[in-house]
C-alpha cells in the first residue's frame, strides 16, 4: 500500500537542492579564439539553456516514452510550424502547473495532467504556453528588467501555481510571473490554436470552472478565500479565474469555427497507468478537501472507480476529522468491488488505515506547514 507516495515526497525534496548558480560571464569578456559579444538576447538564450538543463536533470522528470510522446504530439499539433522549436518536459508533482522558457522548453506538471478531463482541455493549456512563446512574453519580460547585466542568471520560467514545487525543480531564482495582459493574450492564442487543431474551445471555460470549484473545496483557508474573491493574493498581476472565463467566452464567440473534438476516453486511457501514483502525491499536499472534490468530479465519468474509491478513503483516513474513519472504511469497501482497485484493499482495512495514518502525521510542522499554504490549487494560473 501507499507504495509510491513516500518515494515521490523524497524526489521532490531532493530536487530542492537544485540552484541556479553558475559562473557569470562578464559582458564583453574576451574569449579564446575571439571576443564574446554581449547582447541581452544572447544572455536570455544562455539563461534559458541553463534552466532547461536543470529541468532535464530533475529527478522528478517523467521519461515514459508513451506519455511523453503523447504530450509531445499534442504540443506539435497546437504549435504548427513552430513544433520543431519546442521541447516538452513532464514533471511529477502535485500541482496544476505548466510553464515555458524563452527558448521553447516547456514544463508540464503531472498535477495538471491529472486534473484536465480530456485532450481538448490539455490542448488549451499547451496552446496557452505556446502563446507565451509565440508572443515572446518571457523574452520581453527579461529585456524590460532594469539591469540586463548577468541576465543569464535570472532567466526563468513563468509559472503560476505551486511556487515551491516549481522552485524545487528549477531553483527559486528561475521563477517569475507574466503580466495580466500577457496571460490573457496567451489564453486567446491557446484558444485559437486548439480550435485550429480541432478541439472544442469550450474546454477552456470548462477547465477554469472546474479549477474554481476545486479551489472552493480546498482544505486550505487561503485558497478558499482566493476562490471566494476570485482574486489571487500572491500573483496580483494574474487574471482572476472569473475574468479569465469571461474573456474566454467572448473570444470563443468570435472564433470562425467551433469544433467539438475532446477525445475524453482516449485521454483517460493515456493517463490511467499513473492515476494511483499521482493521486497519492496529491494526498501528500494534505489538501484533502481539494482531493475529495477532484475524486468526486472524476467519478462522474464512471471509470477508474476502484482507484478513485481508494483515494477517497485515503483522504478521509488521513484527514481524521470526526466520522472520517467510518467514511474511509465505507469508501474502501465500495472501491474493492471494482476490478481496478489496488489489490491491498482485499486485505485488512483497519490495518491499512493504521499504517497510512502512521506514515502521514496529522500535524504539520515548520517547513511542511509552509508548503501546505501553497498547496495544489492555491493558485491555478498556468
Ligand atoms: Zn500563462
Asked if pLDDT for residue 324 goes beyond 60, the answer is yes
- Angle formed by the axes of helices 305-319 and 275-283, to 10°? 10
**Predicted pLDDT of residue 155:** 57
Per-range mean pLDDT, top range of 13-22, 171-180, 215-224, 298-307: 298-307
Ligand 1 center–CA 149 separation, angstroms: 26
69 phi and psi angles, rounded to 5 deg: -60, -40
Ligand 1 center–CA 300 separation, angstroms: 29
* Of the residues 262, 294, 324, the one at which a domain ends: 262
Ligand 1 center–CA 325 separation, angstroms: 40
Strands 30-31 and 34-35, bridge-based pairing: antiparallel
Q: What is the DSSP letter of 354?
A: H
Q: What's the pLDDT tens digit per position in 169-185?
A: 555 555 566 778 888 89
Q: Are 165 and 230 members of one domain?
A: yes
* Of the residues 231, 262, 293, the one at which a domain ends: 262
Ligand 1 center–CA 37 separation, angstroms: 32
Band (pLDDT 50/70/90 cuts) for residue 376 is: very low
Q: Identify the residue whose cell numbers are 560571464.
A: 25
Ligand 1 center–CA 98 separation, angstroms: 8
Residue range(s) defining the domain that contains residue 109: 5-17+39-262
Q: Are 90 and 148 members of one domain?
A: yes
Asked if pLDDT for residue 200 goes beyond 70, the answer is yes
Ligand 1 center–CA 380 separation, angstroms: 10
Q: Are 210 and 282 members of one domain?
A: no
Flag whether 64 is in a domain: yes
Flag whether 375 is in a domain: no
Ligand 1 center–CA 10 separation, angstroms: 28
Ligand 1 center–CA 164 separation, angstroms: 17
Q: Once rounded to an integer, what is the mean pLDDT over residues 321-333?
A: 98
Q: Are 226 and 149 members of one domain?
A: yes
Can you tell me whether residue 236 is helix, strand or coil? coil
Rounded Cα distance, 88 and 102, in Å? 13
Flag whether 32 is in a domain: no
Band (pLDDT 50/70/90 cuts) for residue 308 is: very high
Per-range mean pLDDT, top range of 6-10, 149-153, 235-239: 149-153
**Predicted pLDDT of residue 32:** 55
Ligand 1 center–CA 128 separation, angstroms: 6
- Angle formed by the axes of helices 40-56 and 163-170, to 10°? 100
pTM over 0.85: no
Flag whether 318 is in a domain: yes
Q: Are 70 and 194 members of one domain?
A: yes
Q: What percent of the chain has pLDDT above 90?
A: 53
**Predicted pLDDT of residue 297:** 97
Of residues 165 and 132, more confidently modeled: 132
Ligand 1 center–CA 285 separation, angstroms: 23
Flag whether 269 is in a domain: no
Q: Are 306 and 258 members of one domain?
A: no
Ligand 1 center–CA 354 separation, angstroms: 42
Q: Once rounded to an integer, what is the mean pLDDT over residues 328-355?
A: 97
Q: Are 203 and 295 members of one domain?
A: no
Ligand 1 center–CA 100 separation, angstroms: 9
Q: Are 292 and 248 members of one domain?
A: no
Strands 87-91 and 105-109, bridge-based pairing: parallel
Q: Are 281 and 132 members of one domain?
A: no
Flag whether 22 is in a domain: no
Q: What's the pLDDT tens digit per position in 93-112?
A: 988 888 898 899 999 999 99
Q: Quote the longest CA-to-CA distance of the chain.
A: 73
Sign of the C-alpha dihedral computed for residues 376, 379, 380 and 382 taken in this order: negative
Flag whether 33 is in a domain: no
Per the structure, the count of domains in the chain is 2
Provide the CB-side half-sphere exposure for 195 (13 A, CA).
19
Flag whether 286 is in a domain: yes
Q: How many CB atoms lie within 10 A of CB 309?
A: 25
Ligand 1 center–CA 222 separation, angstroms: 22
Ligand 1 center–CA 30 separation, angstroms: 38
Q: Are 76 and 145 members of one domain?
A: yes
Q: Are 287 and 312 members of one domain?
A: yes
Ligand 1 center–CA 186 separation, angstroms: 6
**Predicted pLDDT of residue 304:** 98
Ligand 1 center–CA 262 separation, angstroms: 22
Ligand 1 center–CA 158 separation, angstroms: 7
Rounded Cα distance, 148 and 154, in Å? 9
Of residues 222 and 147, more confidently modeled: 222
Q: What's the pLDDT tens digit per position in 364-375?
A: 655 545 555 444
Ligand 1 center–CA 182 separation, angstroms: 7
Which DSSP helix (H) or strand (E) runs through 331?
helix 324-335
Q: Are 43 and 103 members of one domain?
A: yes
Amino acid at each position: 500500500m501507499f507504495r509510491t507516495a513516500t518515494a515521490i515526497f523524497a524526489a521532490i525534496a531532493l530536487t530542492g537542492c537544485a540552484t541556479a548558480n553558475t559562473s557569470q560571464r562578464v559582458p564583453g569578456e574576451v574569449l579564446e579564439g575571439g571576443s564574446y559579444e554581449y547582447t541581452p538576447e544572447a544572455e536570455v538564450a544562455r539563461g534559458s539553456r541553463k534552466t532547461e538543463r536543470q529541468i532535464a536533470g530533475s529527478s522528478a522528470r517523467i521519461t515514459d516514452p508513451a506519455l511523453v510522446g503523447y504530450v509531445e504530439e499534442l504540443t506539435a499539433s497546437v504549435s504548427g510550424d513552430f513544433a520543431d522549436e519546442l521541447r516538452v518536459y513532464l514533471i511529477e508533482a502535485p500541482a496544476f502547473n505548466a510553464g515555458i522558457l524563452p527558448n521553447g522548453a516547456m514544463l508540464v506538471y503531472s498535477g495538471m495532467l491529472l486534473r484536465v478531463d480530456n485532450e481538448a482541455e490539455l490542448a488549451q493549456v499547451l496552446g496557452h504556453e505556446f502563446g507565451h512563446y509565440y508572443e515572446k512574453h518571457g523574452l520581453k519580460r527579461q529585456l524590460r528588467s532594469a539591469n540586463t547585466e548577468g541576465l543569464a542568471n535570472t532567466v526563468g520560467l513563468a509559472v503560476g501555481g505551486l511556487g515551491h514545487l516549481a522552485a524545487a525543480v528549477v531553483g527559486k531564482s528561475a521563477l517569475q510571473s507574466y503580466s495580466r495582459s500577457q496571460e490573457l493574450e496567451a489564453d486567446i492564442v491557446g484558444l485559437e490554436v486548439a480550435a485550429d487543431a480541432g478541439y472544442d474551445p469550450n474546454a477552456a471555460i470548462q477547465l477554469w470552472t472546474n479549477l474554481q470549484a476545486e479551489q472552493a473545496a480546498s482544505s486550505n483557508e487561503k485558497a478558499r478565500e482566493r476562490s471566494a474573491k476570485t482574486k489571487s493574493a500572491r500573483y496580483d498581476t494574474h487574471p482572476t479565474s472569473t475574468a479569465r472565463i469571461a474573456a474566454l467566452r467572448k473570444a470563443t464567440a468570435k472564433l470562425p469555427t467551433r469544433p467539438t473534438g475532446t477525445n475524453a476516453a482516449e485521454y483517460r486511457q493515456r493517463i490511467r497507468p499513473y492515476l494511483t501514483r499521482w493521486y497519492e502525491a496529491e494526498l501528500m499536499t494534505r489538501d484533502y478537501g481539494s482531493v475529495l472534490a477532484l475524486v468526486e468530479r472524476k467519478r462522474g465519468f464512471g471509470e477508474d472507480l476502484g482507484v478513485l474509491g481508494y483515494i477517497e478513503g485515503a483522504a478521509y483516513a488521513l484527514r481524521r476529522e470526526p466520522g472520517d474513519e467510518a467514511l474511509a472504511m465505507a469508501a474502501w469497501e465500495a472501491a474493492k468491488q471494482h476490478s481496478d482497485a489496488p489489490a491491498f484493499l482485499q486485505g485488512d482495512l483497519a490495518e491499512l488505515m493504521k499504517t497510512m495514518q502512521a506514515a502521514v502525521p496529522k500535524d504539520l510542522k515548520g517547513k511542511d506547514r509552509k508548503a501546505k499554504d501553497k498547496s495544489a490549487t492555491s493558485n491555478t494560473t498556468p
